[in-house]
């Protein structure tokens, strides 16, 4: 199954037109929520979204929010539907869709286009530049996808087979354009629907070369350390990779972007690996290994390596990427990691290499009447999180400070570590919540980021989503203040809103909304939050220059951070 948590249904059978067919194909792979902003050129698609009996359509506050919400949903369920209108809608969504591309998420971006007759006659219709050129927006939007199609009634089945297969092969967004009049016409394409679009096959010869290469590396190494990547989850193969780690009997470490891919309570866990910010002893464990097994193409990016302060000889790395295998000399393509892991699981011998690592324990700080500090916020939050929670963390001081802390087993951590577009987390929390109705979503956001997309609160209220939102109000863009050479530039000051009043203003009925300024007030608010069944909004007032030690570290390593 392509998408988790849902049975294969057959809504394609009742599709009466091409728009309904396109939507039904996506519903039938297990997607049960769509995120959208309607528009006249998209009416056929919009109708299809609300008429499919298995689909709940969410009307977002704007297209960028919709794209972030789709991204959040896809993180949990494996794929999402985003629907926007021609040009003005689709272009607004593109930052979010591009983020999904960077973060390996399948988002089907459906866009309603003007009527074919208008396009053929190069008419000057709205949402165009008036120049009769109807290709430019398709080419811009396609750049945020790994596959794109202009669907027509006589290509719909063939093209949907192709689009779904490619999107799942790469685990990246797909762009689907459908004109208003074609959307309302019945499908005439007689190609058979391919219900096994996720059955991606390796090239057998290259797969056996890859197996040989990996076995050769394993045979020549004794000290082997694995690094499981977040992409394992995206490709639905975390369990297989963990089985390999267990069968080999080798330690594994986790980098910031890959946080919560595998439990930090696993007996073979050997720590948080992030350059000079690594757990004590973990850098030594990784960097002194004979072989580092990169499972799923974990990135050696700026934030994964704490500003490139790791000291790992990359020649020792064997990268088992989702679609290829690479060592310092060779890259073998057309190898699908799911199949490679299966083959390796049959063949590898235990290495039984163990290391000394003591997981840092998070002591509980005493709660006093003192003004709230970031340190107290993290400490209380980390003791508050329950194993079934989904923690959505925004870019900014939150995402730089938080990954270093151990998380309870079972907590799912979501962050846009590579793309890092502020504003993502608030709508993404909506998407994560709708994807996972049994879990409580905790959103940790800075107030500056929140300002970009906070109108999505109204959507949360409308659809009765009940996150616990922690909005840190530190009087501006603190992460930037911390990274500036100029200590206090005025561009990091932002409008001061009455954050705790937002849920009421946005119509979030029965939400608990509290502004806290001291440690004890925060502790009390958290207690009430867990017991409150509707949404909770806590504004946390912390100091304007209260950075946290991680940011101080980044500040003192700015040169490395920017790659020089
Ligand atoms: C879309 C976008 N615009 C600008 C930035 C640059 N940027 C990164 S973090 C940040 C400030 C975040 O401030 P806030 O959310 O208040 O968090 P704080 O660091 O203050 O806790 C900015 C402006 C970005 N990453 N993405
Ligand atoms: Mg801030």
d(CA 75, CA 69): 10
* 450 Cα to the center of ligand 2, angstroms: 9
d(CA 319, CA 296): 7
- For ligand 2, an ion, list residues with CB under 5 A: 446-448, 474, 478
Report how far apart the first and last C-alpha atoms of the chain are (Å, whole number): 45
Q: Which helix (DSSP H) or strand (DSSP E) does residue 329 occupy? A: none
State residue 562's pLDDT score: 77
Tell me which of 143 and 556 has the higher pLDDT. Answer: 143
Residue 448 CA, closest ligand 1 atom number: 16
Q: How confident is the model at residue 551 (pLDDT cuts 50, 70, 90)?
A: confident
Q: How confident is the model at residue 1 (pLDDT cuts 50, 70, 90)?
A: very low
Which residue lies with its CA nearest to atom 11 of ligand 1?
A: 477
Tokens describing residue 106: 């399948």
Q: Which of 422, 473, 551 to mutate to test the pocket of ligand 1 (most atoms within 8 A of CB)?
A: 422
- Answer whether residue 548 shows pLDDT above 90: no
Q: Using a pLDDT cut of 70, give the percent of the chain over it.
A: 98
CB 286 within 8 A of CB 225: yes
Residue 447 CA, closest ligand 1 atom number: 16
d(CA 55, CA 74): 15
- Answer whether residue 326 shows pLDDT above 60: yes
The least confident of 183-187, 220-224, 329-333, 551-555 is: 551-555
Residue 494 CA, closest ligand 1 atom number: 16
Q: Which helix (DSSP H) or strand (DSSP E) does residue 151 occupy? A: strand 147-151
Which residue lies with its CA nearest to atom 4 of ligand 1?
A: 422
d(CA 389, CA 443): 10
Q: Give this prediction's pTM.
A: 0.97
- Answer whether residue 554 shows pLDDT above 80: yes
The residues with which 332 forms a beta bridge, in sequence order, are 325
Check pocket membership of 484 for ligand 1, CB cut-off 6 A. no
Q: Burial, 51: exposed, middle or buried (Cβ in 10 Å; 0-12, 13-18, 19+)?
A: middle
For 260-282, what is the mean pLDDT? 96
- Answer whether residue 286 shows pLDDT above 90: yes
For 503-531, what is the mean pLDDT? 98
**pLDDT per residue as tens digits for the range 137-163:** 999 999 999 999 999 999 999 999 999
In degrees, to the nearest 5, what angle opens at C-alpha 443 toward C-alphas 437 and 444?
165
Check pocket membership of 542 for ligand 1, CB cut-off 6 A. no
Check pocket membership of 153 for ligand 1, CB cut-off 6 A. no
State residue 4's pLDDT score: 64
**pLDDT per residue as tens digits for the range 99-120:** 999 999 999 999 999 998 888 8
* 473 Cα to the center of ligand 2, angstroms: 5
Q: Using a pLDDT cut of 90, give the percent of the chain over it.
A: 87
State residue 550's pLDDT score: 86
In degrees, to the nearest 5, what angle opens at C-alpha 334 toward C-alphas 332 and 337?
90
State residue 485's pLDDT score: 67
Q: Please compute, for residue 85, the number of CA atoms within 13 A of its CA located in the half-sphere on the CB side.
A: 19
- Answer whether residue 7 shows pLDDT above 70: no
- Answer whether residue 176 shows pLDDT above 50: yes
**pLDDT per residue as tens digits for the range 195-237:** 887 778 999 999 999 999 999 999 999 999 999 999 999 999 9
* 486 Cα to the center of ligand 1, angstroms: 17
Which residue lies with its CA nearest to atom 8 of ligand 1?
A: 396
In degrees, to the nearest 5, what angle opens at C-alpha 358 toward C-alphas 357 and 360?
135
- Answer whether residue 56 shows pLDDT above 50: yes
* 414 Cα to the center of ligand 2, angstroms: 19
**pLDDT per residue as tens digits for the range 403-451:** 999 998 899 999 999 999 999 999 999 999 999 989 999 999 999 999 9
State residue 262's pLDDT score: 96
CB 169 within 8 A of CB 323: yes
* 214 Cα to the center of ligand 2, angstroms: 46
For all residues of the chain together, what is the average pLDDT?
95
For 349-371, what is the mean pLDDT? 95
* 480 Cα to the center of ligand 1, angstroms: 7
- Answer whether residue 5 shows pLDDT above 90: no
């Amino acid at each position: 199954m392509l998408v988790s948590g849902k049975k294969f249904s057959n809504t394609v059978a009742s599709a009466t037109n091409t728009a309904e067919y396109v939507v039904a194909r996506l519903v039938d792979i297990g997607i049960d929520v769509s995120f959208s902003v309607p528009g006249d050129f998209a009416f056929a698609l919009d109708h299809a979204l609300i008429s499919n009996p298995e689909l709940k359509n969410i009307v977002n506050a704007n297209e960028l929010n919709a794209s972030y919400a789709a991204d959040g949903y896809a993180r949990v369920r494996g794929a999402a539907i985003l629907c926007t209108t021609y040009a003005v809608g689709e272009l607004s969504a593109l930052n979010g869709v591009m983020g999904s591309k960077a973060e390996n998420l399948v988002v089907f971006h459906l866009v309603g286009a003007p009527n074919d007759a208008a396009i053929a006659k190069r008419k000057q219709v709205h949402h165009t530049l008036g120049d009769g050129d109807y290709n430019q927006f398709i080419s811009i939007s396609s750049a945020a996808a790994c596959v794109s199609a202009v669907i027509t009634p006589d290509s719909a089945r063939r093209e949907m087979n192709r689009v779904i297969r490619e999107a799942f092969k790469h685990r990246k967004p797909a762009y689907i354009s459908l004109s208003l009049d074609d959307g309302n016409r019945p499908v005439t394409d007689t190609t058979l629907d391919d219900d096994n679009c996720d059955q991606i096959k390796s090239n057998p010869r290259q797969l056996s070369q890859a197996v040989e290469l990996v076995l050769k590396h394993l045979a020549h190494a004794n000290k082997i350390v694995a690094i499981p990547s977040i992409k394992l989850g995206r490709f639905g193969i975390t369990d297989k990779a963990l089985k390999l780690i267990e069968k080999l009997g080798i330690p594994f470490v986790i980098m910031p972007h890959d946080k919560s891919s595998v439990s930090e309570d696993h007996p073979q866990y050997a720590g948080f690996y992030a350059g000079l910010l690594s757990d004590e002893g973990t850098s030594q464990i990784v960097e002194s290994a004979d072989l580092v097994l990169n499972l799923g193409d974990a990135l050696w990016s700026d934030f994964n390596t704490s500003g490139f302060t790791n000291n790992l000889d990359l020649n020792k790395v064997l990268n088992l990427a989702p679609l290829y295998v690479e060592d310092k000399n060779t890259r073998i393509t057309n190898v699908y990691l799911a199949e490679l892991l299966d083959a390796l699981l049959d063949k590898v011998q235990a290495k039984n290499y163990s290391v000394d690592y003591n997981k840092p324990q998070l002591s509980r700080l005493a709660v006093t009447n003192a003004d709230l500090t970031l340190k107290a916020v993290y400490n209380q939050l980390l003791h508050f999180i329950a194993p079934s929670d989904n923690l959505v963390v925004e870019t900014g001081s939150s995402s730089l400070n938080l990954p270093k802390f151990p998380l309870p087993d079972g907590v799912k951590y979501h962050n846009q570590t590579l793309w890092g577009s502020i504003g993502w987390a608030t709508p993404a929390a909506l998407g994560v919540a709708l994807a996972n109705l049994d879990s409580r979503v905790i959103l940790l956001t800075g107030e500056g980021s929140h300002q970009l997309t906070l109108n999505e609160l109204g959507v949360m209220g409308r659809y009765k989503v009940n996150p616990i939102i922690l909005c840190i109000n530190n009087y501006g863009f603190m992460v930037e203040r911390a990274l500036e050479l100029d200590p206090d530039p005025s561009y990091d000051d932002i409008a001061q809103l009455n954050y705790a009043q937002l849920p009421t203003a946005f119509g979030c009925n029965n939400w608990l909304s509290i502004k806290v300024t001291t440690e004890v007030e925060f502790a009390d608010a958290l207690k009430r939050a867990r017991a409150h069944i509707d949404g909770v909004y806590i504004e946390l007032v912390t100091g304007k220059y209260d950075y946290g030690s991680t940011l101080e570290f980044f500040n003192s390593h700015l040169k490395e951070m920017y790659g020089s």
